[in-house]
Each structure stands twice: as structure tokens, then as C-alpha cells.
Structure 1
Amino acid sequence: MNILVLGSGGREHAIAWALAKSPRTDVLYVAPGNGGTADIAENVADLDVMDADAVLRFVVERKIGLVVIGPEAPLVAGVADGLRAAGVAVFGPNAEGAQLEGSKAYSKAFMEANGIPTAAYARFDACEPALAYVREQGAPIVIKADGLAAGKGVVVAETLEDAEEAVRDCFEGAFGDAGKTVVIEECMTGPECSLLSFVSGGKSLPMAPAQDHKRAYDGDMGPNTGGMGVYSPVPIVTDDEMAAMVAIMEKAAAATAAEPFATDYRGTLYGGFMLTPEGPKIVEFNVRFGDPETQVVLPRLKTDLVDVMAAVAEGRPQDVSLEWSDTWAVCVVLASEGYPGSYEKGKVILGIEEAEDIPGVTVFHAGTRVNADGELVTAGGRVLNVVALGDSFEEARERAYEACDLINFEGKQLRNDIGKRALQGRSAWE
């Protein structure tokens, strides 16, 4: 079949890479794509992925058999709804199901109604009551803009002053409409871990766990980012914790098929977990593949991804049986100088071919493009995802950093400690 992937980041390159390996894939399109997807698919740079009618016209014209929606914004905007209403097989939830990520207040109400363990919270639509609540609770405390804020609407406030500033930022328009409602949560403690599931027909088909590194600099210092590195599996997760996370994802999936939250959810449900002393609790749900978690999860998937996504999109979860590789995967993000703040674009990138000559190494593009001179250049904050597979955690990690050393562009920024803490065991979080 012909397949269309919507999106332009490292996640979409990894998805396209996995789909391209399938014998069921005929022509693969990525809209708008990036410098890496151009090597394995046909980029469609002028297609507005937020316009369901425009996407549908392209689907009809190119005889697309499956549409995979990568980012959250088109899902929240209802692009899947428009396509599905026209009979198109779509991997991605409808707009109502996407509220699990599109509205943190909706998500917390969903968890509360279904007995899903999460942080205690309160929601506010006005500044002064929110400030009064923060003063009553004290710090540390977590302030969240309710809507989509490009990953920047969450503040873990260590002081009361920081918490008050975060509340004011939301209500004074720092995040636009996303901050008109604010969710304030208790600050949970423990390591974080992600467990993604394929969800269809109320059934959860769990993927392999992964652990992201959100902070910009070594030692988990600096501002939060979209993710500076990740690995899978996660050695610090106990068998009991894994079983608890799987059970929570099953409960969440079942709730998407039952009133009052029934949404005919078909796609990925991302469970962001905190491994607290009381057991795993949900920090947040996302309604799409994580980035960069996808870049270490999909290389470990042995099952044909086209088979999986088609079955999920068509409501046939019973036809899916997932098989995983025993290999370890480590991803290190190469970012532009200044990220997650301001950064320059257009820096020439060299060394990717040499890096991919290392056994087990694949480089997924996140923020790249090809310029008028045919050169690959930087075009975003997170530029490349350097992924390495190995028979052990140490081997995968060594290969990833060996590959990173071979890739160069002006201002290259990376963390040098991805996975280092986990190698020390659970005690490194205590």
C-alpha cells in the first residue's frame, strides 16, 4: 500500500524508517519531512498537515492506504476525524481522544474517574485562586498550562516564588490559549520512565519501556528540553513495577472504549510514569509516539510495523502480536548551540555516513534540511538522533558516543552522560 506519514521530526523519521522496511510498503510519503526522510521516502513539503481537507485531497490523489499522524497538534485539531469520516485508515486518535494530551485538566479527570494513580491536583481558571492554592500547598509544586504549549508549559517549581511566577506566566498569556486554565499538582519523587502502548478497541498492546533525559546538560542540570537522549530497555525497573505499568496502561486503554470517555481510540497511548515509593504513577499521557523514545523503541520491534499500524487503524487489535529484540538501544541527541533557547540554523552537517558505518548505528534526522547547494544543514534545535544497538547496555552506549564523535556541525551540543546514571543502579536516584 501507499503510506503517508505526517510530521517532520526525529520521531517521524524513525517511523518512516520502520515502515520503509516492510514488504507491504509501496510508495512512502512524509509531509513535510526532513533531510533524512528524503532518503527513504518522498517528502511533501507543501502539504498543510493541520488541514484535514488538504490531507484528504492528497490521500485520494495518491491512493494512500494508511495515514500515520506523528505530532500531537494535528490530532488535537481533528485531522484524524476528517480522514476517518471519509473511510481512510488512520493511525492516530480522534480529536476527543487526543484531549488526553490536549487538555491536562481532561486527562486528570480521566485518571481520577478511572482509578489511575497520579499526582493530587487542582485546576484553576483564574489567577488569584491559583496563587492562593500555591501559597497554601507550598513548594516544591508543579504548575502546568492546560493546553498544548510545545513542551514548555510545565514548571517544576522548587520555590514559592518560582511557582507564583509560573502561575502568572500562564494567566498573563505566555502560552496563549493553552494557559487560560492551569493545573497545579503535587511534586512526585522518583525516577521517570515511559511505557507506550498500541491502543485499539479498548485493548492495550504494550511496547518496550524507555527512559528519557529531559534536562539540557550533564548531571540532569539546566532547563527542560524535548529530550536529549534515551535508552531501552530500562534496567532499573523491577518486574513488579513493569507489571503495574502494564496494568495501568490496560486500564487506561479500556477506559477509552467505555462511557463517559469512549472515543474509539486508535493509535499510540504514551504513559509517562514516575516510579514513586508508592509504586508507578502517571505523570502525563501523550496521544502519540514519544520523541525521542520512538527512536529506541522501534529499532527493537521485530514485528512488521505496517501490519501493526494497519490493524490498530482498522480496529483489529486481536490481529497484533508484538515481538521484541533482546538488544539494547541508546540514543544521543545532537542539538544546536543554545538549545532549548535561541539558536542559529543553516550549519553544514558532516560525518553521518561514517557514523552509520559503525555496526548497529542509525542516525535519525530531527531538525535538518537540504539547502540550495545540496548540502545537509541544521534546521532545528534538536538536529540528529544518534541511535546504537548493542548486545549490552555498555556496548550500545559506547557505539552511540563513538558515532557522535564522527558527526560534526558548528555549535554541536550534546549530553555526555546518557545512560550513565542507570548503569549505577536504582541507588543513583536515592
Structure 2
Amino acid sequence: MTRIAHDPSGEPNPLRALTLAGLRRRTSMKWRTYPDDVLPLWVAEMDVPLAEPVVRAVTDALALGDTGYPAGTAYAQALAAFAEKRWGWDGLAVERTAIVPDVMLGVVEMVKLVSGPGDPVIVNPPVYPPFFQFLTHLDRRVTEAPLGVDGRLDLDVLEETFRASVAGGGRAAYLLCSPHNPTGTVHTAAELSAVAALADRYGVRVVADEIHAPLVLPGADFVPYLSVPGGERGLSLMSASKAWNLAGLKAALAVAGPEAAADLARMPEEVGHGPSHVGVIAHTAALRDGIPWLDALLAGLDDNRRLLADLLAARLPAIAHRPAEATYLTWLDCRALGLGDDPAAAFLHRGRVALNSGLRFGTGGAGHVRLNLATSPEIVEEAVRRMAAALD
């Protein structure tokens, strides 16, 4: 019998709980997009069983037939309590929240509130590909302010982009990814305060995607954008979906700073009809009762982070990467391997391991791949073995 490692919370490491054979029985995107001989380490799904409090809450709801429409503020109350306990932030006011179907649809609704068709929305590539897709579909003009060579926000570039975006008196919004996907960068309080000061100076409205906020690893601290000086005019989207693997149970929260409450109040009522009531129940249970499970997950992810660094140093030393400070995603610079702009294609076709192509992440993505670490150590090892074999 395989021993399941435990972390100090007393919970077993959920990344060691499932076998590859069991995972291949799943019918979600991660496990159905590629043939069975491909090892999938791409889309943001985790190879874990659900936290027991979530399973219990959903099972109880189904037993009651409690599958109607969402109501109440239990989700927001659970998030506010989590934010105070986890991040020391007591400024998440339940009355300044609204339930939305998921984070990206919430982003769309928040961007609608603070900008109009044709207005620029600034992003920091390389960045989560749906930012480009959703904003373009919304008839907004995506404007890039690339990250610095250190993978962090380049405040000089950001200021110049803000200045150009509002030249002539136009409106602009800034879609901040915090923590950043795909680099796993955790923005500091100083960086976020500087962002808020620039946004105020140029009249740019900030919408923060903070979906990965609970997934900060040892050595870094998450700072909510709305908590920094000047963040009062901001809007944030948060969810339990990434940290507790609940993407299929749709629910997220839009949170407004004190000076953005009137904006959030203008969101159409029908937007709140989109979330799943069962999803709200699951997310609430995760935030309220799933913290020991989350702590065990974070310990396991930290182990995998170190394991990957060791494996790459031994098997693929030409790959450059900075261990992520947050998320369960890792951004790998493969340009020295000679695989061209899309090394993910070579790893898939020659090594039968599926990673995200960096090309879809915008400027700075060529020659890179994104790897999902939320799996067992054995699968991480097999993935690196296959990647190395793809070079033979």
C-alpha cells in the first residue's frame, strides 16, 4: 500500500491520493482532450479528491433536493472570514459583494461597468489566455504592458501604457492578474500600492482577477488589491474554484472597494442568476471548513515545486525557470532547447506529454510552456522523463 504523506494540519497530502488509472476514468477536459497515451499536465485541473467538507455539503444538498437558485450571503461571509484569517484583511464587506457565474464571466461584467466598447483594457503578458479571448469578444481593445525580464510588473512600462491609453480623455481599464498566471508571481504590497497610485493618477480603473489567492506557497504572502492604499476604487473577482478544484461547480464573487460600491450596484440583476446554487454551497463549505485540506495541498505543492527544480536540473538543465510563489502552475523557458517558438508541440508529439503552449499567453510566451504541478510526484517525474526523451 502506498503511504500517503501528511502535513502538519493532519490531513493527508491530496496529491498522493489518486492513481493514474483512477484519474483516467475522469471525463473532464484535462483527461478527455488527448489520447490515453498522453500524460496531461496542462489545463488548471488538479489530480486530487475533493475536500471532505465539500463532498459532505454537496451530498447533503442533493439528498435534500436543494438544487434550486442561489440566495443569501453565506458565500461572501465565508470568504470574508477566510480573508481575515488568512490574509489579515478585514475590509471585505459582504454588502459590497455580488455572486457571479465564475471569475472570467465576472471579469467581463466588471469591465462592462467601468469601460465601453472600443476602450483599451491593459494586461501584463505573458498572461492567462482567456484574458485576450474574453476581452476581444467584449469589443474591448487589448493593450499589452509586458512583465519585466524578472517576471514582475514593470511599473515604468505600466505607467507609459496608462498614459497612452487615456490620451485624449478616453477611458481605460487594467485587468490585473494577482497572483500572476502563468509565472506564479505574487505581487507585493509595495508593487500593488504603486499600481493603485498610477491608476489614480491616470484615471484607470483596476479589475483584479484574484482567483489563485488561496494558493500562495511558503515564502510569499498574498496581498488583496483592495486592501492597499488607493485600492478603494478597485473591483476584484475571487473564488474557491482553483484552490479546491471546483471549476465544474460554478460560482464566484465580485468584490468592490468602498469607492466602487456604486459601480457594483449597477451590475444587472440577471448576472446573479448564472451561478450554480450547488456550486455556491460547495465554495462556501471549502472556505469555511476546508482550510486543513488546503494546507495539506499547499505542503504537497511545495514538495512538488522542489522536486521539479531538482528534476529539471538533473534531466533538462537548459530549461530556465523561477519556482512559482503561488498557483500550481510553472512557467518554463525552453528557448535554449532549440525547439522553436512552440516547444509544447514537440513535447506532445515526441514525448506524449501535454503542456500549455506559451504562444497563447501573448508577448513573452514564445519558446515557453506552462506545466501543471497539481499531481502526484510520480507523474511529475514521468512528465520530466518524457520531456527529456523528446529531445533524443
- Which TM-score applies when normalising by structure 2? 0.30
**Counting helix residues as a fraction of each chain, which structure ranks higher?**
2
**Counting strand residues as a fraction of each chain, which structure ranks higher?**
1
- Which TM-score applies when normalising by structure 1? 0.28
